[in-house]
Structure 1
Amino acid sequence: MSAPNLLITGAQLWSPERSCATALAVTNGVVTAVGSDEEILALAVAETEHIQAAGAAVLPGFHDGHIHATAGGLALLGCNLDAAHSLEGYAGIIRNFALTNDSEWVVGSGWFGDVFTGGLPTRQLLDELVPDRPAVFTSHDAHGVWANTEALRRAGITRETADPAAGRIVRGEQGEPTGVLMDAAGELVSRLIPPHRPEDLRRGLLTAQQHLLSLGITAWHDALLGAYLTLPDSLPAYIETITEGSLRARVTGSMWWPPAAGPDCVPEILEKIQAAAEAGFKIRSVKIMQDGICENCTAALIEPYTGVHPEVRGDSVISPRHLADITAELDAAGLSIHFHGVGDRAVRECLDAVAHARRRNGPGQRHQIAHLDVVDPADIGRFAELEVTANLQPLWARNDQEVLERKFPLIGDSRARHHFPFGALRNAGAHLAMGSDWPVTSPDPLWGLHTACTRTAPAADHHAFNAESRTPAQPEERLSIDDAIRAYTLGSAEASGIAKETGSLQVGKLADLVVLTGPIANSESFDQVRVARTILGGETAYQRSQTAHRAEVPGRSGR
């Protein structure tokens, strides 16, 4: 066996479960030995790099199982409202961007509804900030578009404009559009925005990659390869960066299924997937959005929303019958489905569709449902029965002000008790994966792990400033440290179909790992440590500067 290029000793190893080993060796980008410090140090030669972890946690590289990386990178480079959580903050960011940018349209993202009186912004407010040209801002959850009057005028949206399928134009008391367009209605405006240039998409993707590496993320699953609202089609940028070798992370993705399209769209999707494979990006999954979000009353619920008149339950984007047929056909073609299911009825319809595929095809692909804000207790056990992965966005499972002010009043107390039922799913044997849905919320896995295990917001999260966010939300739904780490590493790798190569610190797997600034002693540790070093294929892809460390950080190299 060749001598190792890298040794890590003195580590608190998680592989992803807590290990009794304290050291590992890496040769040519692959883990070649795991054991005690003494055993691993005996493998060293003069040229071997040695990292002394000094008791800090060393884990498999984090794997974000649901993300929109290019959109996140473009947000970092553009008019990004995520940096603030106040009306004054938004106004300052928008005004400054408009003054320093001479583009025909002012486009940005990241607003939270709870910032505005009544829960939603207005076109008049945006008119004050951008009076001279069209302006469009996507909400942080990507299910709403805030447009000024000029953007509505160019789109021809008036009080007579009908709501499109799977979308809603928010209207005032006299029927006039307020400037907020929900879900598919946003495309009435977003389709007019000049498209991103290829070089902008490439820059956005590579900016995202560097940011994600700094957070210990070495792999991700892009949950939407296609264009939706102001989210650009990132597939060309992936193909370009794969071809040129600048995309270093382990990336998989889901081809976007057009909302409301029927089974006759299957051949078109298969052709797109084949074309992507021929261009160098193998795609094994299709993304289907079955509903919207609770805050907009577009999540599909079994019972009506609370306090909403006339009664609404939210629409199913695809009819259950068509969804079942689509799922069976894609499953038979060897593809997994990455469902968006927020409301309990949408979740049930997705599970029913998988059950139909199982009856028709027998055991098939591992499908997954992302988000799972509300799951009927009767459906919890079906995840394990049908081998459907529960793809969790853990940072959402806290009582922040938007949840308390905009969401819980609409779903009511009985459904709020089952809000993000992580623990119930785990106890019923469901397979778990985790992702951030960035740029919807922060991609920081340590923040997500903190909330998964405590059901509280991280201390530094400025989008959760209310006292209730520091009190555990549905504490019975907390996950153990072992279960949470597994979901954010190996669980996501399994869901993405690359667990043979990555996701755990095992001999023969790629040496993708993260060194933290300290050990994981309990669930509060995730909010106290940071990433000291990210290693991708045995090479350091990110190292935290010494001046940024909160305390003395392990991970200094020696020969």
Structure 2
Amino acid sequence: MKQQVLYTGGEIITLDAPARAVLTEGERILAVGNEAALRRMAGPDVREFPLKGQVMMPAFLDSHGHITAFAATLSLAPLGGAGSFAEIVSLLSKSAREHPQREWVIGFGYDHNVLKEGVHPDKELLDAAFPDRPVLISHASGHMGAANSEALHRMGITRDTPDPDGGKIGRGEDGGPNGYLEETAFTLYSQAAPAARPEKIVDDFKRAQQHYLSCGISTAQEGLARAGEMAVLADLAGKNLLTLDVVAYCDAGEGGEPLLPRSCGEKGKNRLRIGGYKVFLDGSPQARTAWLTQPYEGEESYRGYPVHTDAELEATVHRVCAQRAQLLAHCNGDAAADQLISAFERENRRCAVAPLRPVMIHAQTLRADQLDRMKPLGMIPSFFAAHLWYWGDVHRKNLGKRAFCISPLHDAAAREMHFTLHQDTPVLPPNMLETIWCAVNRISREGVSMGEAQRITPEQALRAVTLDAAYQYFEEREKGSITPGKRADFVLLDGNPLTVAPGDIRRLSVTGTILRGEMVSQA
């Protein structure tokens, strides 16, 4: 017989009907309501779960991230705290000493915007510290990085190597590569670095999964599942090592050629599910590679650039829609947004079958008129609202007045659209309370208000990481609210995000995570 559990003694945010108590049976929510009524309903062997003043609400869903990439970064030199070139070299040297068996020295997470030098590192810096070992470092965005001469040699990058479509190889005054790699030049050539040992990959994933669970997350995403990522996930699922639900999105292919579903393995097995496809359309606004309709501040004509031609994207959209699959599109600039919306509008005219909830990932510089075009398509904007805090001041320099309208959350809410919030892990840790705080307060690191008119309420932000995130995954009947019949997935907090001062939301802590009726993480 399935165990019944009665939750009482704390505040309960159901995002549905009001409740003072919750009764579950096994993996499911049996009933919500007042404590007396639920006690009468419960069986004789019901187990009591006293909340002791904690706040219980539906578990969070990560609407966009890269959990296998996050796991991989746990074994790399952590460069997120570096404030100068010297600190980057020091952190890389420390990692090299700690892992002498590794030939490559690899680091992740530097941000040129916060470095004292204000520019990206180059091969001269890395060559001086590591003349004989290949070195590769990734920007926090994952869209660019730098390599030393030995790594460039291993990658096959020479003076004569052309820029790949949708990317750039940094050049010195002599025309040779200077070590900087941007967009597809980085993502393609960095694959030359060796993968970790299989046992290390499993160990790192377990650590990553526990981090997600400690943040109150029930569902994680692998937002770009190539063959390597799918092999890792399939192996973990086959060994029953997934506690989280993981939804993977296959690489829609390079050069506009989508891959077939068979490349992604079997659907829905042991908490691993294939959600659809992912395509990149442009870069990042803080690196000035997002594709805009108007030039960046200080530029006469430079607007960033696209990854795909219109024809390539339309072919991808048509192939994905013909398979009745969902498409996620990385899309930061408003020109990239126009390209994506136009491709789906043409597909709608071409085909009588509506697309399956396409998602515009990041949607940073999305305009109000574009939201009006997205709504009839059922297109969901998934906003990277934490940019407002982490890179808001950089956006003011790069975008001018446009910066105060990035992540137009209020405009989406006013149109009664489904929209979600994410942290794009490993760009940022999967802290959903932080992204809620950013969406509600819209403040930059320098304390500048990043557009009060686009703020949303705490309840709207909570829905974006619960109910609307479940809707994005086609799981609104299973997850996202504390409703009878849905899964018993809960997060416990030490305070109520709906009633604390908006500025204090980020100070709240996750005290426990319950998935399928079982406690899987506890502070």
The TM-score with structure 1 as length reference comes to 0.87
Partner of 2:103: 104
Which residue does the alignment assign to 1:549? none
Using the alignment, how far apart are the partners of 1:354 and 1:9 within structure 2?
48
Measured against aligned partners, the alpha-carbon deviations of 1:216-236 in whole angstroms (never above 9, x if no partner) come to: 011122211116xxxxx3211
**1:260 aligns to 2:255 (yes or no):** yes
Question: Higher relative contact order at CA 8 Å, sep ≥6: structure 1 or structure 2?
Answer: 1
- Using the alignment, how far apart are the partners of 1:30 and 1:86 within structure 2? 51
Counterpart residue number, 2:473: 496
- Say whether residues 1:343 and 2:333 are aligned partners: yes
Distance 2:2 2:37 in 1: 14
RMSD: 2.3
When residues 259 and 376 of structure 1 are mapped into structure 2, their CA distance, relative to the original with a 3 A threshold, is farther
Work out whether 1:404 is the aligned partner of 2:393. yes
Query: Match of 2:393, as an amino acid?
Result: L
Q: Which moved more, 1:526-535 or 1:324-333?
A: 324-333
Counterparts of 1:319 and 1:429, CA distance in 2: 32
Counterpart for residue 428 of structure 1: 415
- Kept in 1: contact 2:62–2:422 (CA 8 A): yes
> Any conservation in 1 of the 2:248–2:275 contact (CA below 8 Å)?
yes
CA 1:129/1:477 → structure 2, altered by over 3 Å: closer, same or farther? farther
Of residues 502, 509, 512 in structure 2, which corresponds to 1:530? 509
2:370 maps to which residue?
379
Q: Distance in 1 between matches of 2:479 and 2:83?
A: 37
Map of 1:503-522 to 2, 5 A cutoff? 503-520=480-497, 521-522=499-500
Contact in 2 for aligned 1:259/1:318 (Cα 8 Å) = no
What is the CA–CA distance in structure 1 between the aligned matches of 2:2 and 2:179, rounded to whole Å? Answer: 63
Q: Is the Cα contact below 8 Å between 2:488 and 2:514 reproduced in 1? A: yes
Stretch deviating more after TM superposition (364-373 or 168-177)? 168-177
Q: Secondary structure at the match of 2:469?
A: helix
Query: Could you tell me how far 1:72 is from its partner in structure 2?
Result: 0.8
Gaps of 5+ in 1: 228-232, 458-465, 545-559
> Alignment partner of 1:66: what SS?
coil
Aligned to 2:383: 392
* CA displacement, residues 302-357 of structure 1 (integer Å, 9 cap, x when unaligned): 12333236x32222212113312321231121101001110001011111112122
The structural deviation recorded for 1:89 is 4.2
Counterparts of 2:393 and 2:342, CA distance in 1:
31
Amino acid at match of 1:12: E
Rounded to whole Å, the distance in 2 between the matches of 1:531 and 1:329 is 42
What SS does the aligned partner of 1:119 have? coil
- The aligned residue for residue 321 of structure 2 is 331
Distance across 2 between alignment mates of 1:297 and 1:485 = 31
Query: Where does residue 148 of structure 1 map in the other structure?
Result: 148
Matched, 1:217 2:217: yes
1:479, 1:111 → 2: CA distance?
A: 31
Q: Which residue of 1 aligns with 2:61?
A: 63
CA distance in 2, matches of 1:269, 1:300: 28
Structure 1 SS opposite 2:266: helix
C-alpha distance in 1 between matches for 2:403 and 2:99: 43
Contact 2:143 2:187 in 1 (8 A): no
Q: Is the 8 A contact 1:23 1:37 kept in 2?
A: yes
Confirm or deny: 8 A CA contact 1:65 1:435 kept in the other structure: yes
The aligned counterpart of 1:248 is 243
Q: Any idea what the Cα deviations from partners look like across 1:501-556, whole Å, max 9, x if unmatched?
A: 22211111110110101222142342221011100100000010xxxxxxxxxxxx
- What is the alpha-carbon distance in structure 2 between the residues aligned to residue 257 and residue 81 of structure 1? 30
User: Which ranges of structure 2 fall in alignment gaps of 5 or more residues?
Assistant: none
State the alpha-carbon separation in 2 of the partners of residues 297 and 419 from structure 1.
Answer: 14
Query: Cα gap change, 1:3/1:324 in structure 2, threshold over 3 Å: closer, same or farther?
Result: closer
Q: Secondary structure at the match of 1:429?
A: coil
Alpha-carbon distance in 2 for matches of 1:301, 1:286: 24
The aligned length equals 517
